[in-house]
């Protein structure tokens, strides 16, 4: 048994999501410390973080790949673009020109 990841306090929902993803890939795992938040004050808070553990050590590398792909943001910010309608430079996270209102998808 090997610890895969430690979530922050209140990360029980995230831990459950990752656990489901890993189990759907055929790797048994367990969440530990998911009920310890009720003991805060009597137990050091760092001991109350939910942890995801992989039951079979040989599954660890594949489980780590699943975790890493889940942790990577899905919406990457693209490069800045120039509105051909008004010439304004727009930051990549925006899909419309802030100056003239033209949508980026209309520019193609």
Describe the chain by its helix, strand, coil percentages, rounded to 5.
Answer: 35, 20, 45
Q: Give the pLDDT of residue 76.
A: 62
* Residues 50 and 12: beta-carbon distance below 8 Å: yes
Q: Which residues of 5-31 are buried (b: 16+ CB within 10 A; e: fewer)?
A: bebeeebeebbeebbebbeeeebebeb
Domain around 48: 2-71
Q: Give the pLDDT of residue 107.
A: 47
The tens place of each residue's pLDDT in the chain, 108 residues long, gives: 999 999 887 788 889 999 999 999 999 999 998 776 666 667 777 777 889 999 999 999 999 999 998 888 665 667 888 998 999 999 988 888 889 988 887 544
Please tell me whether residue 4 adopts helix, strand or coil conformation.
strand
In terms of domains, do 12 and 29 share one?
yes
The Cα–Cα gap between 96 and 62 comes to 39
Q: Give the pLDDT of residue 53.
A: 96
Give how many domains the chain has, as a whole number: 2
In terms of domains, do 89 and 103 share one?
yes
């Amino acid at each position: 048994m090997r610890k895969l990841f430690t979530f922050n306090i209140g990360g029980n929902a995230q831990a459950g999501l990752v656990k489901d993803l890993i189990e759907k890939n055929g790797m048994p795992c367990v969440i530990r410390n998911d009920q310890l938040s009720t003991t805060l004050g009597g137990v050091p808070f760092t001991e109350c973080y939910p942890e995801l553990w992989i039951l079979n050590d040989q599954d660890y590398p594949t489980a780590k790949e699943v975790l890493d792909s889940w942790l990577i943001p899905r919406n990457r910010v693209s490069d800045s673009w120039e509105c051909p309608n008004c010439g304004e430079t727009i930051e990549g996270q925006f899909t419309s020109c802030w100056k003239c209102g033209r949508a980026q998808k209309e520019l193609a």
